[in-house]
Amino acid sequence: MAQKTQPAVNISFADKFIAFIDVLGFKNMVEAAESNDDKLLREVLASLKTSGSVDARNRYEQYGPTVCPESLRIQRNLDFRATHVSDCVIVSAEISPAGVINLLHHCWVLVLSLMRYGVMCRGYVTRGQIFHLDAEFYGTGYQRAYAGESGVGVFKRSADERGTPFVEVDSAVSEYVEHCGDKCSQEIFRRFTRRDGDLVALFPFQTLQHTFVIGDFWGRKFDRESERQSNRNVRKWIADMKERVLALVDATNPSAVSKAEHYVRALDAQLAICDSTEAFLLSMIQR
């Protein structure tokens, strides 16, 4: 009996926003798993598979955009695609204010989820031509995102430092947001990113802090001791994250140590904010 052949897929390229994100230190996780210590590898793969599954596209199909839902879009599902391959995730979305900010949010969530385990990642977000269909992806836009990941230089501390552990945002993307005229995507973009001269990167560290409102808010009165406890919880979460980052670093590898120092400095800055918050709350109690 003749074997049935699958119909050829029509490869149609489209101008889209494209992100390529790579997990750093994945080789060491695999080696540890081969030595019967697979806990971290399983946790990281779970995050990657969640990020690179069809579930996000299906949610957009059903509910539309989750971030800036009123922003301009072309398709309800934002032509959103996410693919997980080994230690990488490739994401693409249509050229629209809703498309760019939901793609960046998707990447931002992945970076933050990996940070919980002390795992660093690096990536590049750009704009260009791509054919992206589930597990298939081709195009010069994808190639640009792939090539950009290894050369990330945002927040570098010396002229020859290369491959800093951040998800850099191409100027073609940041300029689109700047000039798109959509206030929601522009505001969220400012919250998600940090600028380093002419370069921009996703920066989830700045969200790691406890915020509170003094007074009666939504029927809930301000409780200073409760706020202090919440602040201490956030502080412990950050301190644990920092400890995990340091625990995974190969101290004999100068490049790995240098990358970890970026995360440690950013986490230390958030710990300092927690300390300032605690001091402020204590000063209120002592009045």
Whether 215 shows a pLDDT value over 80: the answer reads no
Range in 132-141, 209-218, 251-260 the model is least confident about = 209-218
Quote the CA–CA distance of 129 and 174 in Å, as a whole number: 17
* CA-based nearest residue to 117, from 41, 193, 36: 41
Confidence of residue 216 (pLDDT cuts 50, 70, 90): low
pLDDT digits (tens, 9 = 90+) for 234-252: 999 999 999 999 999 988 9
pTM of the shown model: 0.90
Task: Give me the pLDDT at residue 189, please.
Answer: 97
The pLDDT of 186-199, averaged and rounded, is 96
Secondary structure string (H, E, C) spanning the chain: CCCCCCCCCCCCCEEEEEEEEEECCHHHHHHHHHCCCCHHHHHHHHHHHHHCCCHHHHHHHHHCCCCCCCCCCCCCCCCCEEEEECCEEEEEECCCHHHHHHHHHHHHHHHHHHHCCCCCEEEEEEEEEEEEECCEEECHHHHHHHHHHHCCCCCCCCCCCCCCCCEEECHHHHHHHHHCCCHHHHHHHHHHEEEECCEEEECHHHHCCCCCCCCEECCEECCHHHHHHHHHHHHHHHHHHHHHHHHHCCCCCHHHHHHHHHHHHHHHHHHHHHHHHHHHHHHHHHC
Confidence of residue 287 (pLDDT cuts 50, 70, 90): very low
The pLDDT of 12-30, averaged and rounded, is 95
Confidence of residue 208 (pLDDT cuts 50, 70, 90): confident
Task: Give me the pLDDT at residue 195, please.
Answer: 95
More confident residue, 5 or 109: 109
